[in-house]
Amino acid sequence: MKILQLTIFAVAMLQAADFALPAGAKPRNLGSVGAGEGPAWDGRGNLYFTDEHRITLRDSAGQIHVFREPSNDANGLLFDSQGRLMICESATRRVTRIEPDGRTVVLADRYQGMRFNSPNDLTIDSKGRIYFSDPRYGPRDDMEMRDQHGRQVEGIYRIDAPGKVTRVIGHEVDRANGVLVSPRDEYLYVADNDNNKAGGPRKLWRFRLWPDGAIEPGSRKLVFDWLTGRGPDGVKMDREGRLYAFGGPDWKILFITAGGTLWSIPVNTPGWTPLATR
């Protein structure tokens, strides 16, 4: 498996990866448009992304529109197989979904009575079960999420239905960030990222998934360690097992959000998402 750290500083490395890019492909700067997090392609020509206060839509003509403002500090975004937008809302500490009629459904806002830390990123398996990460970056004085011994948890949760939430990863990671369920629901990839602390983890882990959506105990495997470098954030995958974030009419355009700027670059292999398999 080829692992690519997709930040603005890694574009040159990606460009040099002949296995991934068409000959002569170059990154394209699409402008400083508030592209901080969560690029999500809707399968109809529109790209959605977030900054601290809004969700922005870039349409098929390249025009920029405010989709939602304020956004409850939206972070990770994802469309499910029915084309509904799911949102990690950091400020309200919940995961929501926008229905076709515009209603907002709360998928998860508590676990065992405790409010989440700040839902960050999410992924979905073939059965429609949603996994999301719950780290806390910034002030920690109001964190409620604890284990049975009172220790703080920045783990991974699974939503089987609105309000039906299970913790699937606790202290197996230090601070969960990007998450991805692989095709055929074989693995859960987790970016373990504490860039705020000297010596904190900057790793990508892989866990084997059981059919019931639980993690196989003892299956944790280190995929890549960034050591003292800038750690991993969002995680996506193409159909040959490479990790990226994708969009485009044929799922062959890689979009990168980096400090407010949006980048794109064509790739050879289509991305894999629930929408791409409809």
State pLDDT tens for residues 218-273. Answer: 999 998 888 887 777 877 777 777 665 374 457 788 888 878 888 888 888 887 76
CATH number at residue 124: 2.120.10.30
Query: Is the bond preceding 70 in cis, omega lying within 30 degrees of 0?
Result: yes
Domain contains 176: yes
Please tell me the total count of domains within the chain.
Answer: 1
Domain contains 2: no
> How far is 146 from 115, CA to CA, in rounded Å?
10
In angstroms, the Cα distances linking 97 to 56, 84, 110 are 16, 7, 16
In angstroms, the Cα distances linking 5 to 70, 212, 229 are 30, 31, 10
> How far is 104 from 106, CA to CA, in rounded Å?
7
In angstroms, the Cα distances linking 20 to 111, 194, 218, 220 are 40, 29, 32, 27
* Alpha-carbon 116 to chain mean position: 17
Q: Tell me the per-residue pLDDT of 66-124, one tens digit each, with 9 for 90 and over.
A: 999 999 999 999 999 999 999 999 999 999 999 999 999 999 999 999 999 999 999 99
Domain contains 145: yes
Domain contains 3: no
Which contiguous run of DSSP H or E holds residue 30?
A: strand 28-35
In angstroms, the Cα distances linking 141 to 63, 90, 137, 145, 196 are 40, 15, 11, 11, 16
Domain span including residue 223: 8-277
pTM of the model: 0.88
